[in-house]
Each structure stands twice: as structure tokens, then as C-alpha cells.
């Protein structure tokens, strides 16, 4: 396959970005100096075997068979009929072969190729550390699978996350032996056929190589890396959606100020507030005075007097506050003109707008914690036992071949549990903003369900919110941590497991629905933003004509008779006219405008009801691709 670049692996410096690059098609090369260490450890192990040393998983059985030493010959050969299925080679080789072929028992749909490619690069990298006993020739065979794009078929379900991801990694390794199935050039076929088409040969495993290939946290780590990559993109997209909604609401920016967040400096919160300030930079909608914002009224033929204005898709109005309703509010009406339009007279926005830094920021912190764990794991050794050929003054084999528990996935499982719980939180606050945009009781003067509905036949964005609500509920019901349910395995030899493979797989799957929820907010916020901009600019253009009576026609509550109130009304309408005429054109922040323009290249403003399914597909694809960022 055509490769953009090649990732250099030395067992020490693999990054999440490099894993993502390999998942997307990059190749790998292995560090020559580190390969010498790999081979030295394999040679050390072979020497210990020749000395007759008892070594777990090499000269003993696995799991509950760990107390059984392998004999010099097969007892089964003496059984009636012999042992026709036994592989060629020694019992030590048979042990490794059987480990792979009996452990490849996963079920379900196969992982996508990018997940398997991520698993391959992670496994190669951890074996490069030189503590697993694998030979260089076997490691090269594993790298050849990746570089020739032979993708083992790995069903998604079957790992308990300790001893590592035994079953899925066995599906990965069995193709090296000429077994199992693989994808090659887009086709699913037997593993041996895929190897042959790629010009590769099956291999035979030596001491501990089966254990080195299938014992580790590779599946959960690969899915976690890809899930976190998506989460970071979705967090940036969620900030963009929130900024677009804030502009559409003509919201308040005080809750985003730097000095505010210096008083509670959670890193994610500070970052989110800073990002929102950048996204809203240049906005003439945020912090707009209350009295300038008109309320939507359905369009009618008589709504506007000039042919240009009659092309509008709405009418607008304000309510005038009479003198007898201003008692005790004199200071407020000295600052703001006495007109009630779309923006409610309150100094703070709803939580779904005001608390974006706190909520998005907390999700960011959950993702950051998971990234910290994953970054350590990417360059860790996670199989068992661990080999230390260069140990100083070893007295016994146990000083150089040490059984430990690095295969246990609990560090990853708990970190991904945190992210798993955070996903419906991010989806929920996005849905609340969407709901607020379509609800005429709460959308600060925008039309109900963001459609003019002149003939009472349109639903507008009503059911978009239904879909978002369904997604939030589905994500919430899937957010329960898998890591709290350990089910012992291997006749209780493995009596506490992490379920980290399920945890990370769930998170990766949930990111798709999270993306859908955020996409629906963007779809809705774009419609709301255009309404808000157009309504405000229509008011501004009307005021710019200098005809206070034309503006007065858009105001309810005018006095019915001549007198002091009428004079007061005229004076205040003229003041409103002047305030509107003196403003700059109303528009969103520069970054929000750019995103809106990109979205409008694919999805038109909804003037009246039309089939929306293609719109929804388009905005979901835009979010998935990151094209709006």
C-alpha cells in the first residue's frame, strides 16, 4: 500500500499520534540497536532452557497448569491412536503453538482495520523493549504483517483484560502461524492465503513466543488510543458548538473571563474558557444590550414596507415598558432602554451556556488523565514472565525470570471508566443547548423550532431534539463502568480481572454517538445563528432609515392617546432607533463565522420544512472528519 511515512520503533518513544498514524496507514521500521537487545534476551532464554531450568510458560503449563513441568516426550504418543493433531517439533514448541490456537476464541463482528493496525504497532513496540524473549525473526514477521497490510480478523468480544487481551491477541498471532483469517486488499480470506498473497511465509514459535504475542494489554490500549484521539477532536468540536450557540443566543461573556477562572484553575476549565474566548473573538452578538435584540414574529406580506425588506423570512417586534411599570427599576432603565425584545433582562445565562467551561473542562480533565495513563502504557512491557538477562549477581532463575502482573489492565480500565462517564455529560449539555435553541419559551426571541411556520404546517427542528435526547439516554445507559465487575477465569488462577478491553471498546463505540449529538447541536445552532443575525441586522437597517414611526410599528404597547406618555414613547423609540443605527453589522465571532460558512457549503438554511435526513448525514460526516475545526 502507498505510505505517507514510516514510524521508527525502539520500544521507548511511541506516542498516541504515531499509533494514530499507523492506524491510518503509516508503516513501521524497527531500531537496529534495540533489536540486538531483543535477540540477546531470546538467546538468554534459550540458554536457560538448555540448562533445564523450570520457567513459567516455557517449561511449565499456563494458568492453572503452572505447577506442571513439561516432560521430555509426549505421553499422548502412547495413547491408542497416538496424537494425530500434535504439531511438529518439541513439547516446548507445541506449548506455544497450542496457546495461540486454543485462545483465539473471540466472537462478534471484527474490529475495523485501523484498530488492528493500532494493535500491531503497539505489540511490536512493547516487544522491542527486550524483556519478552521473542526472537528478532518472529518480531520481523509481526512487522511484516503490518507493513504488507495483512490485517488479522479479530472479533471484538472475548477479553477480560487480564492476563491481558489473551483471546484477541491470539487471533492476531494465529495468522503468523498460517491459521485464522485476515483481510488483504479489502478481502476477507484464510490467514494462510493472505500470507501467500502478500508474499509472506508462516512461522513456527519458539520458547515463550506464544506468550509474548498474546499476553498484554494491547487491544484495550489500541481502542483507548483511538477513542481518546476522537475525544480530543470532539471536545474541540463541542467548544465550537457551544460558541455558535452562545452567539445564537447573544449570550454573556463574563463567565468566560480569564480572571474568573484564575479563581478555580482546573486545567480543563481554564483551557475551555480560553478556547471559547478565541472562538467568540470578533463577535458583535455576545454582550449585546438587552434592548437592541428584537423578538421573532411570523412573516406577513404587510410586515415590511420596502421591496428589499419584504424579502425577509420573518417579522420582528419589541414590547415597550410603560412608565407605571418602571418603579424600583429606575437604575436599570437609566442604563437600558425600556424595550423588551428577545433577550431576557437577566445578567446571567442558563447553565448550559454559562457553565460550559466547568462541564467541558471536567470532561477535558478526564480525557487528560486517561492520556497520561495511556502514554505510560504505550512504552511499557505488559507480558509475563519478564526476562532480565542483565540482572546483577543472580542467585536463582527467579532473579532473572520474574512472574509479575503487568498484563493486568486495571490502570487503563479505571482511566477509561472516567472517560466513559464523561461522554454522556458532554452529550447532555450539548442537547440542553439544542433544546434551548428550539424552545420558544427559552430561546430568547427566536422562532419556535427555528422555523417561520407561517401556515402552521412546519415542524422545523423539533424532531432533531428528539434524536439528540435519544442519543443522550443511550449514552447514559451505556456509561456504567465495566471495571467494577470482575469475573474470575482460568479455574480461579486468574481470580481478579480488569474488564478493561470491554471498557475501552465501549468508549470507542460511544464516541460515534457523542459525535452525532454534537453534530445535531451544530446543525441547529447554525439555523438559530442566522435567524439571530438577520433579525438584528434587519432592525439595524430599519433604524438606519431614520423613520422612527416605521420602527414604532414594530413595538407593542404604544400609548393610545396623546400626552406625556406619548412624548416619552416617541423619545425612547428615537433613542432605540439611534442606538441600533449606531451599531456595527451584527455577526458571530470570526471562528464561528468560518465554521458556519463551511457548514453552509453542504447544508442550506431551512426556510421551510424539507427532508432533513441528508442534512443530518452531512453534518455528522463533517463532525466526524473534523472539517469544521
Instruction: List active site positions.
Output: 56, 103, 215, 351, 354, 407, 494
Residues 54 and 48: beta-carbon distance below 8 Å: no
Q: Which of 244, 227, 516, 486 is nearest to 366 (CA)?
A: 227
For 128, the 3-state DSSP assignment is coil
Within a 13 Å sphere around the CA of 599, how many CA atoms are in the beta-carbon half?
Answer: 31
What is the distance of C-alpha 70 from the center of its chain? 48
Segments of 128-259 assigned E as strands: 151-152, 155-157, 181-184, 187-190
Collect all residues with Cβ–Cβ distance below 8 Å to 290 and sequence separation of at least 6.
336, 340, 341, 343, 344, 345
* C-alpha cell recorded at residue 296: 421573532
CA dihedral 517, 523, 525, 529 (to 10 degrees): 170
| Interatomic CA distance for residues 171 and 214, integer angstroms | 9
Collect all residues with Cβ–Cβ distance below 8 Å to 237 and sequence separation of at least 6.
515, 518, 522, 623, 626, 628, 629
For the purposes of burial, counting CB atoms within 10 Å of the CB of 124, is it exposed (0-12), middle (13-18) or buried (19 or more)?
buried
The residues with which 540 forms a beta bridge, in sequence order, are none
What is the distance of C-alpha 81 from the center of its chain? 56
Angle ∠(292,293,294) on CA atoms, nearest 5: 115
| Interatomic CA distance for residues 294 and 556, integer angstroms | 12
Residue whose entry in the numeric block shows the C-alpha cell 468508549: 507
User: What stretch of H or E contains 109?
Assistant: strand 107-110
Residue 110 phi/psi, 5-degree rounding, is: -70, 155
Angle ∠(77,79,84) on CA atoms, nearest 5: 55
Collect all residues with Cβ–Cβ distance below 8 Å to 240 and sequence separation of at least 6.
279, 522, 591, 592, 595, 628, 629
In order, the DSSP letters of 317-342 are: EEEE--GGG-TT-HHHHHHS-SEE-S
First to last CA, the chain: 29
Amino acid at each position: 500500500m502507498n505510505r505517507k511515512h514510516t514510524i521508527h520503533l525502539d520500544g521507548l518513544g511511541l506516542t498516541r499520534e504515531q499509533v494514530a498514524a499507523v492506524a491510518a496507514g503509516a508503516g513501521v521500521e524497527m531500531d537496529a540497536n534495540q533489536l540486538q537487545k531483543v535477540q540477546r534476551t531470546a538467546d538468554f532464554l534459550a540458554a536457560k532452557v538448555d540448562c533445564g531450568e523450570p520457567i513459567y510458560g516455557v517449561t511449565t503449563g499456563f494458568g492453572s497448569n503452572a505447577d506442571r513441568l513439561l516432560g521430555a516426550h509426549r505421553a499422548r504418543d502412547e495413547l491408542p491412536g497416538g496424537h494425530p493433531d500434535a504439531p511438529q517439533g518439541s513439547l516446548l514448541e507445541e506449548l506455544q503453538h497450542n496457546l495461540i490456537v486454543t485462545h483465539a476464541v473471540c466472537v462478534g463482528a471484527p474490529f475495523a482495520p485501523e484498530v488492528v493496525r493500532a494493535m500491531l504497532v503497539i505489540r511490536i513496540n512493547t516487544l522491542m523493549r527486550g524483556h519478552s524473549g521473542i526472537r528478532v525473526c518472529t518480531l520481523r514477521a509481526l512487522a511484516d504483517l503490518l507493513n504488507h497490510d495483512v490485517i488479522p480478523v479479530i472479533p471484538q468480544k472475548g477479553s477480560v483484560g487480564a492476563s491481558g487481551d489473551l483471546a484477541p491477541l491470539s487471533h492476531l498471532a494465529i495468522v503468523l502461524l498460517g491459521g485464522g483469517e485476515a483481510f488483504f486488499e479489502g478481502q476477507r480470506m484464510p490467514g494462510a492465503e493472505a500470507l501467500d498473497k502478500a508474499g509472506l511465509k508462516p512461522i513456527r514459535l519458539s520458547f515463550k513466543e506464544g506468550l509474548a504475542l498474546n499476553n498484554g494489554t494491547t487491544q484495550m490500549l489500541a481502542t483507548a488510543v483511538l477513542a481518546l484521539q476522537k475525544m480530543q477532536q470532539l471536545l474541540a468540536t463541542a467548544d465550537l458548538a457551544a460558541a455558535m450557540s452562545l452567539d445564537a443566543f447573544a449570550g454573556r461573556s463574563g463567565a468566560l473571563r480569564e480572571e474568573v477562572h484564575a479563581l478555580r484553575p482546573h486545567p480543563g476549565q481554564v483551557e475551555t474558557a480560553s478556547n471559547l474566548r478565541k472562538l467568540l473573538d470578533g463577535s458583535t452578538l455576545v454582550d449585546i444590550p438587552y434592548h437592541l435584540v428584537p423578538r421573532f414574529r411570523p412573516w406577513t406580506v404587510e410586515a415590511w414596507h420596502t421591496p428589499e425588506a419584504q424579502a425577509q423570512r420573518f417579522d420582528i417586534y419589541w414590547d415597550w415598558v410603560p412608565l407605571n411599570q418602571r418603579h424600583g427599576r429606575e437604575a436599570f432603565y437609566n442604563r437600558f432602554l425600556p424595550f423588551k425584545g428577545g433577550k431576557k433582562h437577566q445578567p446571567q445565562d442558563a447553565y448550559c451556556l454559562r457553565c460550559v467551561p466547568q462541564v467541558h473542562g471536567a470532561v477535558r480533565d478526564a480525557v487528560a488523565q486517561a492520556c497520561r495513563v495511556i502514554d505510560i502504557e504505550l512504552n511499557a512491557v505488559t507480558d509475563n514472565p519478564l526476562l532480565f538477562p542483565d540482572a546483577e549477581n543472580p542467585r536463582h532463575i527467579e532473579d532473572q525470570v520474574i512472574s509479575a502482573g503487568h498484563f493486568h489492565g486495571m490502570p487503563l480500565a479505571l482511566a477509561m471508566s472516567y472517560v466513559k462517564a464523561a461522554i454522556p455529560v458532554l452529550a447532555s449539555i450539548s442537547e440542553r443547548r439544542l433544546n434551548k435553541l428550539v424552545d420558544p419559551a427559552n430561546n430568547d426571541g427566536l422562532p419556535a423550532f427555528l422555523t417561520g411556520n407561517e401556515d402552521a404546517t412546519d415542524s422545523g427542528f423539533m424532531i432533531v431534539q428528539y434524536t439528540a435526547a435519544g442519543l443522550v439516554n443511550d449514552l447514559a445507559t451505556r456509561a456504567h463502568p465495566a471495571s467494577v465487575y470482575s469475573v474470575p477465569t482460568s479455574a480461579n488462577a486468574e481470580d481478579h480481572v480488569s474488564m478493561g478491553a470491554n471498557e475501552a471498546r465501549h468508549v470507542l463505540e460511544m464516541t460515534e454517538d457523542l459525535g452525532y449529538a454534537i453534530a445535531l447541536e451544530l446543525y441547529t445552532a447554525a439555523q438559530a445563528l442566522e435567524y439571530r443575525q438577520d433579525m438584528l441586522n434587519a432592525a439595524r437597517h430599519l433604524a438606519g432609515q431614520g423613520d422612527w414611526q416605521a420602527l414604532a410599528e414594530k413595538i407593542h404597547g404604544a400609548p393610545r392617546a396623546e400626552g406625556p406618555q406619548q412624548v416619552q414613547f416617541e423619545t425612547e423609540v428615537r433613542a432605540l432607533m439611534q442606538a441600533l443605527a449606531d451599531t456595527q453589522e451584527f455577526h458571530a465571532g470570526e471562528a464561528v463565522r468560518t465554521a458556519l460558512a463551511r457548514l453552509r457549503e453542504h447544508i442550506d438554511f431551512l426556510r421551510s420544512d424539507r427532508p432533513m435526513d441528508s442534512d443530518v448525514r452531512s453534518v455528522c460526516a463533517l463532525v466526524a472528519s473534523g472539517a469544521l475545526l
